Amino acid sequence: MGIMDGLRSMFGVASKQAYTGSQRDASRYDLTEFSGWNPSLGFAGSDMFGEWDVITGRARDLDQNNGWVNAGIDRRVESVIGGQIRLSAQPQHELLNRDYEWRMGWTADVQARFKSWANDIEHRNDARQRLNFGAQAKLAYLTYVRDGESCAEIRDDARGIPNTTNVLLIEPERVCQPNNQAESSTLRRGIRYDRNGAAIGYYVRSGNPNDPVPDSQILRWDYIPVRGKTGRAKFVHIYSPRRVEQNRGISRLAEVMLPAKMLDRVDRAEVNAALKSAIFSLFIKSPGTTQDLEAALAPSGSGATMDPWIEAYLDQRSKNPVRVEGAQVNHLLPDEDVVTPERSSPNTNYSEFAQFILRKIAGSLGVATPQLTGDWSAINYSSARALLNEIWRSFLEDRHYFTQHFLTPIYAAWLEMEVALGTVKVPGGPVNFYRNKTAICMAEWIGPGRGSVDPLKESNSNNLDAAAGRASTVEHILERGRDPSDVLAEEAWWLEERRKRGLDAPNYNTKAASDAVAADGGDSGTGTQDDRDGDGQPNEAEKGKSKQKEPAQ
């Protein structure tokens, strides 16, 4: 059997199976919707080869030149990381044979030291000495969202502070194949792997390949291991894989680049049409003939003469041009006329079209459409609450993933140095740090708070949940972006200060206070009304009673 006969036989079987219904519709070739759609499986480790540079360049251009995309990225960064993300050390004290009281004392000391390092006034936590740690985390997360991945080297440099740990953020394109050598099963796109596929080191180009400065083009690659001899992190690289064997990240904007550029084009066309429509022009039609024009334009000495009236007219117009404020005045040549076409908008449904595209962009970035557009006019309490609940889960998931894979390794490297210096004590001594490293270095990160749609209703709901044991006060404090330890310390200090000054402790039971006012007559001259149901409104039952009594009065 020849090759063609074999192919006919193979496709014949496939076609027969498709028609006899032995396959799912998703695998059929005879449907119009699937015509020409035959993507290959590909290999996740190389299917972005040749595409990453183009996609990342376009993503950065959208960030720089598209206001909608720029705003969407900023809103996500502000919601997930913010500019002041804080450490909440969470050592597993049970595994260290310590009690909860030890844990709280130890974490308070560690967090205070880390805060001092992270907010050093000379920014010695940053290898470039430009940003504090919170701003570095914000920039790293922005890069992660826009470019699809983020990288950093953890360095040790003596800069006048005991803990020499500092962080160098690196543009992802600097991680690449050394000397453009061919890829292998253990070296792909600048990343060295072991036999199991675990990254063990990165080749980082000494300069950015797009830097125009000549000396930055010196071809030198530095090999940076993922961990040092003690297991301390040396290089962190984060991306969100969507396939098992994927080794580099891809921009969140990849799926919406085409509609975003379409919106740009339509937006320009709409603005240009509106601008042309707004221009007010005047045309002055001169009374001269074609012969007069020829005489006016004829070279001197040709013998042609011009009508003295036309000559006087041209002289008058040159000395006294017609001017109208805010308008353009054009002089037409003799016998010329002007035809002005009516304005036709490029898209009469421009607003609906723009909203459709913006919803796609917002969905890809994982933010709410009103966050992207700044238009909250169509949002009520119920829709705002539902919207907040949906996007908040996405924010928390992304915050946890990014902080655990990027920030926690940096914290662990910093803590290892503190233990080595003796400024932080761990149970069993420094050697025990390596035996129980995970239990000691576990941490959560406190980012921006959830926000509130209706503070009164949500506060009452939180109080009911805490009273019923469905949620803790700590959980509610964390939702506001505060550290419970800080809140407790502040509260204890203020209570003691009030006691010293002879002041009573504040009454936080506002519902009980309103009940007391109701028992006193409903209003004690303070404007406070009974709110027995805790909804922030005067008691409906009482209002009904008063209405019923009005006719008798």
Q: Is the pLDDT of residue 133 over 70?
A: yes
pLDDT at 41 (0 to 100): 84
Q: Please state, in angstroms and rounded to a whole number, the distance separating the CA atoms of residues 382 and 169.
A: 42
Under DSSP, the state recorded for 227 is: B
Residue 331 pLDDT greater than 50, yes or no: yes
As a whole number, mean pLDDT of residues 214-233 equals 86
Predicted confidence at residue 532, as pLDDT, reads 45
Helix (H, G, I), strand (E, B) or coil at 90: coil
Tally of structural domains, the chain: 2
* Helical segments of 378-483, H only: 381-402, 408-421, 430-435, 437-441, 455-468, 473-479
Each residue of 498-549: pLDDT tens digit?
Answer: 888 888 888 766 554 444 444 454 444 444 444 444 444 555 444 444 444 4
Residue 494: pLDDT above 90?
no
Q: Is the pLDDT of residue 265 over 70?
A: yes
**Same domain, residue pair 162 and 93:** yes
Average pLDDT over residues 437-456: 86
Checking if the pLDDT of 58 tops 70, the result is: yes
Categorize the per-residue pLDDT at 19 as very low, low, confident or very high, splitting at 50, 70 and 90: very low
On whether both 321 and 221 belong to a single domain, the answer is no
Same domain, 68 and 173: yes
Pair 206, 319 in one domain: no
The pLDDT score that the predictor gives to residue 295 is 64
List the one residue out of 531, 552, 551, 527 whose CA is nearest residue 540: 531
Instruction: Give residue 294's pLDDT band: very low, low, confident or very high (50, 70, 90).
Output: low
pLDDT surpassing 90 at residue 187: yes
Residue 146 lies in a domain: yes
Say if residue 13's pLDDT is above 50. Answer: no
Report yes or no on 6 lying in a domain. no
Q: What percent of the chain has pLDDT over 90?
A: 38
Q: What is the mean pLDDT of the chain?
A: 80
Provide the percentage of residues in the chain whose pLDDT is more than 70: 75
Residues 239 and 191: their CA atoms lie apart, in Å, by 14
Whether residue 484 lies inside any domain: the answer is no
Residue 457 placed within a domain? no
* CA gap 551, 553 in Å, rounded: 5
For 290, the domain range is 281-294+308-340
- C-alpha dihedral (12, 18, 24, 28), degrees to nearest 10: 80
Residue 143 lies in a domain: yes
Looking at the structure, tell me whether residues 60 and 207 fall in a common domain.
Answer: yes
Closest CA to 238 of 299, 168, 150: 150
Same domain, 50 and 168: yes
Instruction: Report the pLDDT value the prediction gives residue 277, as an integer from 0 to 100.
Output: 66
Domain membership of residue 521 (yes or no) is no
The phi, psi pair for 450, rounded to 5°, reads -70, -30
| Most confident region among 288-292, 298-302, 349-353, 476-480 by mean pLDDT | 349-353
Pairing of strands 86-89, 443-446: antiparallel
Rg (CA), the chain: 36
Task: Kindly indicate the confidence band of residue 166, based on its pLDDT and cuts at 50, 70 and 90.
Answer: very high
Tell whether the model's pLDDT for residue 4 goes beyond 80.
no
What confidence score (pLDDT) does residue 48 get?
A: 74
Are 192 and 132 in a shared domain?
A: yes
Cα–Cα dist 354/264, whole Å? 10
What tokens appear for 82 in the block? Answer: 């913010």
- pLDDT at residue number 485: 76
Least confident of 72-81, 113-122, 201-210, 285-294: 285-294
Helix or strand run (H / E) with residue 315: helix 308-319
**pLDDT at position 152:** 97
pLDDT band at 343 (very low <50, low <70, confident <90, very high): low
Distances in Å between the Cα of 372 and the Cα atoms of 70, 351, 359, 451 are 9, 15, 9, 17
371 vs 298, more confident = 371
The whole-number pLDDT of residue 552 equals 45
Torsions phi, psi for 78 (to 5 deg): -60, -40
Residues 325 and 388 in one domain: no
User: 128 in a domain, yes or no?
Assistant: yes
Helix (H, G, I), strand (E, B) or coil at 235: strand
Which are the contacts of 117, defined by CB distance < 8 A and separation ≥ 6?
125, 133, 161, 163, 165, 414
Using DSSP's 3-state secondary structure scheme, residue 430 falls into helix
Q: Is the dihedral angle over the CA atoms 112, 114, 119, 120 positive or is it negative?
A: positive
70 and 203 part of one domain: yes
Residues 242 and 288 in one domain: no
Distance CA 548, CA 23 (A): 72
Does any domain span residue 245? yes
**How many angstroms separate the CA atoms of 351 and 346, rounded?**
12
Answer yes or no: is pLDDT of 81 > 50. Answer: yes
**What is the reported pLDDT for 512?**
46
pLDDT at 226 over 50: yes
Distance CA(92)–CA(97), nearest Å, equals 9
Taking residues 252-261, report their average pLDDT: 89
Spell out the residues 6+ positions from residue 301 whose beta carbon is closer than 8 angstroms to its own. Answer: none
> Looking at the predicted structure, is the pLDDT value of residue 443 above 70?
yes
* pLDDT for the residue numbered 240: 93
Q: What is the pLDDT of residue 490?
A: 77
Higher-pLDDT residue of 118, 11:
118
168-180 burial, b if ≥16 CB within 10 A, otherwise e?
Answer: bbbbbbbbbbbee
Mean of pLDDT values over 88-98: 92
DSSP state of 387: H
Rounded Cα–Cα distance for residues 59 and 55 (Å): 6
Closest by CA to 69, choosing from 78, 60, 80, 81, is: 60
In this structure, are 434 and 332 located in the same domain?
Answer: no
Tokens of 399: 């915050």
The reply to whether 63 and 161 lie within a common domain is: yes
Tell me: pLDDT of 491 over 90.
no
